[in-house]
Amino acid sequence: MRKSHALMVYTASLILLGVGFVLPLLMAIRGGFLNPDGGLSFAYLRGVFQNPIYVEGLLNSLRLALGTTLVATVIALPLAWISTRYHFFGKGVLTALLLVPMILPPFVGAIGFQQIFGVYGSLNSVLGWNIDWLGQGRWMGVVVLQALSLYPVLYLNLSASMANIDHAMEEAAQNLGANAWHRFRRITVPLMMPGWFAGGSIVFIWAFTELGTPLIMNYTRCASVQVFDALKEVGDNPFPFALVCVMLLLSVSLYSLSKLLLGRQHYAMQNKAGTSFEERRVRGPLACLLMLPFVLVISIALLPHVGVLLTSVASPGSWYQTLLPQEWTWQHYEEALGHSMTLSSIRNSLIFSCSAVAVNLLLGIGIAFVVVRSSLRGRHVLDTLAMLPLAVPGLVLASGYLALSSLISHSAWAKANEELFRFLDIRQNPALFLVLAYSVRRLPYMVRSAVAGLQQSSSSLEEAAANVGAAPSVSLRKITMPLITANLIAGALLAFSFSMLEVSDSLMLAQRQEFYPITKTIYELFQRIGGGVFLASALGVWAMLFLAVTLIGSSLLLGRKLGALFRV
Amino acid sequence: MPVPLQIQDLVKHFGKTRAVDHVHLEIEAGELFFLLGPSGCGKTTLLRCIAGFHQPDEGKILLGSSDITRMAPHLRDTGMVFQSYALWPHMTVFQNVAFGLEMRKCSRSEIQKRVREALATVQLSDQAQKKPNQLSGGQQQRVALARALVIQPRVLLLDEPLSNLDAKLRLEMRAEIRRICKDAGLTAVYVTHDQKEALSVADRVALMNQGVVEQVGTPQELYQQPRSVFSAGFIGETNFLDARILSVERGRFTLATPIGEMESSSAVPEGTVLGDPVTLSIRPEAFRLDEVPEGMPNCYDAMVHDSIYLGETAQHQVLVGEDPGFNLKVFDLNPRIIAREGSAPARLWVERRDVIMLPPSGSASRPGSSQ
């Protein structure tokens, strides 16, 4: 890559990330430290820790995150262990199905979850009991739901790092007298720690700041919901921003810690000469035994969504203290898809997501080229900056956008040119900020995907093209692009499906009904008394089907490489 | 205590390929035994069967007096040095070496003492607290060796231990490994594809090809008395000539060859009778171009061409026999004749005992005689 081009792309991406990511981040932080008179103040930050409600919210969020990470680990570890060591009939299909929950929005699943596990739900009607499975305070319910949708991130990381361990490492231990348990504890676990930490920190941050699931489960005493509720209020209340600062600080420190550990332990993957794992082929009873955890996890993970599906076809009032709905109907789909709010939200989501993917592709390819193919001194800064959104909760970014927009719309300049600056006022038109939010938050996946593609296609291929007379633009078009297309498409599909189901930014930024994306519409419908739940479920089912198709598409394209996208 | 190792009629299949094919070996206590062969010959598979990482389909492995064929790898007391070293990157050198002793529930003081001794043996006493990735390739190799030695294994297994080192280090470590094994009196099985390594270090060598043991013997036996075309071709360089036995008298065979009659005093392949075809193997350095001693039977008029002069030796191509002639490779020590361009006439001769008779084989299956 020529230096001047690299410098151009570098500057452009830096500016875009600066405006779309760093600036709102600073705005959110500023909101937590700004006095009404414009001075710096730590009073709000102190206030957060002095207010028992906020402290409880933060502690609850931490418990949610810890619980979710633990449960997700318990689910993912045995699955990863089995899948790296054994081969059995149907393994390919099962491991693919294992990833499906990742794209099913847990907050939609929460609707079905309550139908099944509620006091008057299916489970109790089968057992004839009267237990509230979701428990007092619903903490366990939120943890389980989140873990059931986030375990694939851990599974992908764990199995990638297990597959990377030189098999001879374990054989050496066995040779020196270590039995299976000692090998697992002393060799395998320490060697896959970086993978666990990489996946675990993503899961932890995700669960720590998740907004949709606690909202629908009506678990209001956690920090994310508190921020959401406080920001809904009119007026410039600084406390939610201070709370956001605390969450950001926690997330970023955890993320940095994982990067640090990963950087230090990354040698674990350097021993390449050894034998890789031989997957043991098994049949018969053992194969069935190994399949069991997969089937179990998949069916439990899909259970909430089955609940949503059933809700969407149940006649109102026909699913109460019974295993299944007693009367079926298609009416909700007709109603939901005929509803003006749903139709416009589908259109909105498609427009926002497609624009976000376009921005992502452009930025992702540009950044990947600079990082992999140039020798610019600051290229690692760009790489780090592009990955940083993984550490920044959507909630934080959304509040930053809100603060930024309110600052702009209150400025004299904007007031004088109201027409011109309308699209910068979130209350009037959130489209620009939603697209920005979607693209920035999914940029890490796109960049990883493009970088992986470029690293796999050696630059000597481009040099060979140049050597036989191809201009840089020609070799880019004819050699490089075709080689990384699969990665780009997969990254784009992933960014697209995540954008379609993005919750926190969507709920917080879209404030006028005409701009609601799908997730906000589902939430609004869900809150309506009467048939709202059914319409929300019908729309949720539609969205899940739509996304299932995208995921299958991307997994077909990338195969096992899909896992690489979820590594920090 | 070193113990003998017996491999009895071992067979190991991978799918349809037979990686180890009825292998029978008897390795003596304290012997440094080599498994040598081209890649894919089954030598590593055999070693991994001994370590227990592969389960043989047939046959037995006896270590000392105990049958370990079905024993779990971690109960076998075999210390293995892996090709990739397989040093655990999350542990220090000390912890790596101590691991096997911990598994044997040794006391802390004993572990301290024995690890220190083992590290001293491989001259790494001052590196104990480093992580493996802070060490050079040669040092990593030594750690791997120390880790296998410290448990005082009943047999030491080495899987191409030097293949990741550069040429100079490899030479150093060869001697080092032999010294350490002999000092400790270890029974050791050493896998390599490097014939020089095997010839210079081994007590005895088993040469393997396509899962079968072709020949077992000391390095000298293997080089000087190969028993098959494969053995002769794999180790060192040689010239092959198709021949037929014309007559025999008091252990001296007269043979018909493409370059004329030739006499041999080497052993004849089993079951060969008069008139049978044999393949002759004659090492390039066995051919002589200097003055012919009196009464020497195998003398031929020859044309020397395409000489490569190397100072103390020269490598010639030599044409012998009627036009167009049979081309032989000849290494000449203290060379007098050099024919870089054109050719020079000379007398070529070879002693009877250097003409080795082997069971005949189609020329297609010969390994390259020019390696």
Give the Cα separation of B346 and B341 in Å (integer). 15
Q: Is B151 on the interface with A (CB under 8 A)?
A: yes
Percentage of chain A with pLDDT > 70? Answer: 86
Which runs of consecutive H residues, i.e. helices, occur in A457-517?
459-467, 472-475, 481-500, 504-509
Domains of chain A, by residue range, sit at: 1-30+331-568, 45-314
Q: What is the pLDDT of residue B94?
A: 95
Could you please report the per-residue DSSP string of A174-196?
A: HHTT--HHHIIIIIIHHHHHHHH
A378-397 tens-digit pLDDT: 888 888 888 888 778 888 88
Question: CATH 3.40.50.300 spans which residues of chain B?
Answer: 5-229
B228-279 tens-digit pLDDT: 999 999 999 999 999 999 999 888 999 999 888 999 998 888 888 888 899 9
Site from B49, B88, B104, B160 to mutate, A interface, most A CB atoms within 10 angstroms:
B88
| Cβ atoms of residues B91 and B143 within 8 Å | no
Q: What is the pLDDT of residue B201?
A: 93
Least confident of A278-292, A461-475, A549-563, B195-209: A549-563
A495-516 tens-digit pLDDT: 888 888 888 888 888 888 888 8
Query: Do A176 and B73 count as a contact with CB atoms less than 8 A apart?
Result: no
Q: What is the pLDDT of residue A118?
A: 72
Q: Residue B40: phi, psi to the nearest 5?
A: 85, 10
Give the Cα separation of B94 and B82 in Å (integer). 18
Q: What is the pLDDT of residue A554?
A: 64
Which amino acid type is present at position B236? Answer: G
Query: Do B133 and A267 count as a contact with CB atoms less than 8 A apart?
Result: yes
* Closest residue to A274, CB basis, from B51, B78, B86: B86
A234: Cβ contacts below 8 Å, ≥ 6 apart: none
Quick one: pLDDT band at residue A341, thresholds 50, 70, 90?
confident
Q: Which residues in A lie closer than 8 A to residue B85 (C-beta atoms)? A: 271
Q: Which residues in B lie closer than 8 A to residue A165 (C-beta atoms)? A: none
Q: Which residues in A lie closer than 8 A to residue B51 (C-beta atoms)? A: 171, 175
Pair of tokens at residue A234: 């009119």
Q: What counts of helices (H) and strands (E) characterise chain A?
A: 27, 2
Rg (CA), chain B: 25
* Closest residue to B86, CB basis, from A169, A179, A268: A169
Query: Do B84 and A265 count as a contact with CB atoms less than 8 A apart?
Result: no
Res. A267: pLDDT tops 70: no
Q: Which residues in B lie closer than 8 A to residue A193 (C-beta atoms)? A: 90
| Cβ atoms of residues B128 and B91 within 8 Å | no
> Minimal Cα–Cα distance from B137 to chain A, Å?
12
Site from B54, B74, B149, B162 to mutate, A interface, most A CB atoms within 10 angstroms:
B74
B294-316 tens-digit pLDDT: 888 899 999 999 999 998 899 99
Q: Is B89 on the interface with A (CB under 8 A)?
A: yes
Q: Is B79 on the interface with A (CB under 8 A)?
A: yes
- Closest by CA to B358, choosing from B224, B213, B250, is B224
Q: What is the pLDDT of residue A288?
A: 87
Give the Cα separation of A429 and A422 in Å (integer). 7
- What value of ipTM does the predicted structure carry? 0.75
Q: What is the pLDDT of residue B281?
A: 94
DSSP 8-state assignment for residue B288: B
Res. A431: pLDDT tops 70: yes
> Minimal Cα–Cα distance from B258 to chain A, Å?
47
Instruction: Give the count of alpha carbons within 13 A of A359, CB side only.
Output: 25
Give the Cα separation of B241 and B354 in Å (integer). 13
SS3 B8: strand
Give the Cα separation of B55 and A280 in Å (integer). 13
Q: Is B92 on the interface with A (CB under 8 A)?
A: no
Over residues B121-134, the mean pLDDT reads 90
Tell me whether residue A24 is exposed, middle or buried, using C-beta atoms within 10 angstroms of its C-beta: 0 to 12, 13 to 18, 19 or more. buried
| Cβ atoms of residues A409 and A421 within 8 Å | yes
Query: Do A172 and B75 count as a contact with CB atoms less than 8 A apart?
Result: no
Q: What is the pLDDT of residue A567?
A: 44
Q: What is the pLDDT of residue A268?
A: 39
Least confident of A310-314, A516-520, B132-136, B245-249: A310-314
Quick one: pLDDT band at residue A558, thresholds 50, 70, 90?
low
pTM passes above 0.80:
no
DSSP 8-state assignment for residue A566: G
Query: Do A179 and B74 count as a contact with CB atoms less than 8 A apart?
Result: yes
Query: Do B89 and A178 count as a contact with CB atoms less than 8 A apart?
Result: no
A351: Cβ contacts below 8 Å, ≥ 6 apart: A431
Site from A87, A170, A175, A193 to mutate, B interface, most B CB atoms within 10 angstroms:
A175
Could you please report the per-residue DSSP string of A411-459?
A: SHHHHHTTTTTGGG-TTT--HHHHHHHHHHHHHHHHHHHHHHHHHHS-H
Give the Cα separation of B193 and A132 in Å (integer). 69
Give the Cα separation of B8 and B362 in Å (integer). 31
- Closest by CA to A499, choosing from A484, A509, A487, A512, is A509
Closest CA in chain B for residue A191:
B90
Chain B segment 157-196 residues within 8 A of A by beta carbon are: 157, 164
B330-339 tens-digit pLDDT: 999 888 888 8
Q: Is B86 on the interface with A (CB under 8 A)?
A: yes
- Closest by CA to A454, choosing from A380, A366, A363, is A366
At the top level of CATH, the class of A1-30+331-568 is mainly alpha
Query: Do A177 and B151 count as a contact with CB atoms less than 8 A apart?
Result: yes
CATH, domain B5-229, list 3.40.109.10, 3.30.565.10, 2.102.10.10, 3.40.50.300: 3.40.50.300
Number of Cβ within 10 Å of residue B261's Cβ equals 13
Quick one: pLDDT band at residue A278, thresholds 50, 70, 90?
low
- Closest by CA to A153, choosing from A89, A209, A86, A103, is A103
Interstrand relation of B277-282 and B155-159 (parallel, antiparallel or unpaired): unpaired
A142: Cβ contacts below 8 Å, ≥ 6 apart: A64, A213, A214, A217, A219
- Closest by CA to A140, choosing from A210, A54, A68, is A68
Return the sign of the alpha-carbon dihedral for residues B209, B212, B214, B218: positive
Topology of the domain comprising A45-314: MetI-like fold (1.10.3720)
Q: Which residues in B lie closer than 8 A to residue A266 (C-beta atoms)? A: none
Closest CA in chain B for residue A189:
B90
> Minimal Cα–Cα distance from A201 to chain B, Å?
21
Res. A568: pLDDT tops 50: no
Give the Cα separation of B138 and B150 in Å (integer). 18
